[in-house]
Amino acid sequence: MSSAAAFSYAPLLPTGPDQTDYRLVTDEGVDVVHGPGGRRFLTVEPAALTALTAEAMHDIAHYLRPAHLAQLRAIIDDPAASPNDRFVALDLLRNANIAAGGVLPMCQDTGTAIVMGKRGRHVLTDGADAEAISRGVYQAYTKLNLRYSQLAPLTMWDERNTGSNLPAQVELYAEDPDGHPDAYKFLFMAKGGGSANKSYLYQETKALLNPTRMMQFLEEKLRLIGTAACPPYHLAIVIGGTSAEYALKTAKYASAKYLDALPTSGSMSAHGFRDLELEAEVLELTRNFGIGAQFGGRYFCHDVRVVRLPRHGASCPVAIAVSCSADRQAVAKITPSGVWLERLETDPARFLPDVTDDSLDAEMVVRVDLNRPMDEIRTELSKYPVKTRLSLSGPLVVARDIAHAKIAERLDAGEPMPQYLRDHAVYYAGPAKTPEGYASGSFGPTTAGRMDAYVEKFQAAGGSQVMLAKGNRSGQVTRSCQQHGGFYLGSIGGPAARLAQDCIKHVEVLEYPELGMEAVWKIEVEDFPAFIVVDDKGNDFFAEVTKPVLTVGRR
């Protein structure tokens, strides 16, 4: 065996200087005390951790980073963007403007609270940091108009909503952040189910590590992400990793721009780095998918981060993650000068263009009256091709996972399809809490694919003839719609606050009130935007754009 190399150490993810624009949350609950050897210690009270967490979870539910908003505006200004790209981008900007009012959160799925912290060696707390942070999560979710999404497992098969959105995922590390022993730094995230479900791990081999094979692999896998997680995406790809779980965690951090300051080349110290050239090539690859910002175009992704990590010679994990149009994260720090939180954009209206619906091809919108009998609605939809933009007005029934399971049990027991699913289009969604004076809380669509297994059964029984949700569907849904004369309409994933404020006029519970947001609802909508995705003739917009077309490798 050859002799060992000389000892060399570098952190796996060496980040550069912190360029964040912070705002002061409070200077209470922090103090500096002097210890032996002239050392200074920062003391942090539990209340400071709680206050910071509550403030952070509020801000990321309502505000976005200025850079993200600028990227949305750039889509509208890009002459190469499709009309549907521009329409989605404008709707997301309008949604951001409404959410910034601090009442309606930007997305109805207000997510799992995820907190990562790095505590310097000279920071003193009472040792129950995770509890204090969780208390801040509790305060935010119970006091604000946010949704409770966490389920406690009571047995292997039975579970119940915790009613507080706890537990949070809290990970704390003993590490001097940026070399400062008297600092405590954080990354706060709210991760909804849609984007979390689009985190992928692939166990590959050395054979993947050549330019041609890599680009072919990425085209195949990235198309599979689809639109259920609400693009345009911030896409992260991690190649390598000391373990599978480390690769996945790194992808999540990269999607949040937390690793933007990594080195851009590797060395024998085996640290991770960003490959800027591959980032640009993958971004261009996604521009050519045709998927676009949900309904055709160029803007499947805002940007791409590619991180290369060291690996075991017998293992080559590849992790993929996205941050969606609800790009909810913020960094924070506690230092001797106080408790600081990243300054997010509180005036997103400055990114809105002087644009009218007419300039976004509003004359191409087909208006659909949902007050008519279901057969008339289907006859009207049958006149138009997939990708046609619609404006819906009238009643919708709302039902999602648990309600579908209960109705399926009734059908299996020989009971008839509920009349409300025979008479009305069904919207897959679950609302956030309704603020006082509003008809609805934030009420955007959920991922359609989770209901795919029910479609043929329901349509054969006369229900779910017109479905409305976000994302692509499986082939079985297309076949069922062709057989039974059904339609799947895609709703824009992301602008839940705008839908609540502008489109949803009345909400009432029809059945299963004990299920909370998973109940069956009836809502009245006005000018609710949608697109024909699957029609009654066997056409599926997403079937074409998910076919690989790449014939050349990396330049």
pLDDT in tens, 244-289: 999 999 999 999 999 999 999 999 999 999 999 999 999 999 999 9
Q: Is the pLDDT of residue 493 over 90?
A: no
CATH node for 366-534: 3.20.130.10
The H-or-E segment that residue 184 falls in is strand 184-191
Kindly state the average pLDDT of the residues 473-494. Answer: 94
The rounded distance, in Å, linking the Cα atoms of 229 and 448 is 11
Tens-place pLDDT, residues 73-88: 999 999 999 998 999 9
Q: Is the pLDDT of residue 355 over 60?
A: no
Question: Rounded to 5 degrees, what are φ and ψ at 193?
Answer: -65, -35
CA quadruple 452, 455, 456, 457: dihedral positive or negative?
Answer: positive
Q: Is the pLDDT of residue 24 over 90?
A: yes
The rounded distance, in Å, linking the Cα atoms of 118 and 158 is 36
The rounded distance, in Å, linking the Cα atoms of 485 and 427 is 18
Question: Rounded to 5 degrees, what are φ and ψ at 549?
Answer: -125, 0
Question: What are the sequence ranges of the domains in the chain?
Answer: 12-62+102-191+326-346, 193-325, 366-534
Q: How many beta carbons lie within 10 A of that of residue 20, not counting itself?
A: 14
The rounded distance, in Å, linking the Cα atoms of 287 and 545 is 12
The H-or-E segment that residue 527 falls in is strand 520-534
Tens-place pLDDT, residues 366-391: 999 999 999 999 999 999 999 899 99
Name the residue with higher pLDDT: 443 or 48: 48
Predicted confidence band of residue 553 (pLDDT cuts 50, 70, 90): very low
Q: Give the pLDDT of residue 441.
A: 92
Q: Give the pLDDT of residue 546.
A: 60
The rounded distance, in Å, linking the Cα atoms of 470 and 91 is 15
- In percent, how much of the chain has pLDDT > 90? 86
For the chain, helix (H) and strand (E) counts, in that order, are 15, 23
Q: Give the pLDDT of residue 364.
A: 77
Distances (CA, A) of 227 to 209, 470, 518, 538: 28, 7, 22, 20
Q: Give the pLDDT of residue 554.
A: 40
Please tell me the pTM assigned to this model: 0.87
Question: Rounded to 5 degrees, what are φ and ψ at 331?
Answer: -100, 160
Q: Is the pLDDT of residue 549 over 60?
A: no
Pairing of strands 316-323, 123-124: unpaired
Q: How many beta carbons lie within 10 A of that of residue 510, not counting itself?
A: 18
Contact 473, 486 (CB under 8 A): no
Q: Give the pLDDT of residue 555.
A: 38
Question: Rounded to 5 degrees, what are φ and ψ at 21?
Answer: -90, 110
Q: Is 439 exposed, middle or buried (0-12, 13-18, 19+ CB in 10 A)?
A: middle
- Type of residue at 262: L
Half-sphere exposure of residue 547: CA atoms within 13 angstroms, side-chain side: 5
Tens-place pLDDT, residues 85-95: 999 999 999 99
Q: Is the pLDDT of residue 552 over 60?
A: no
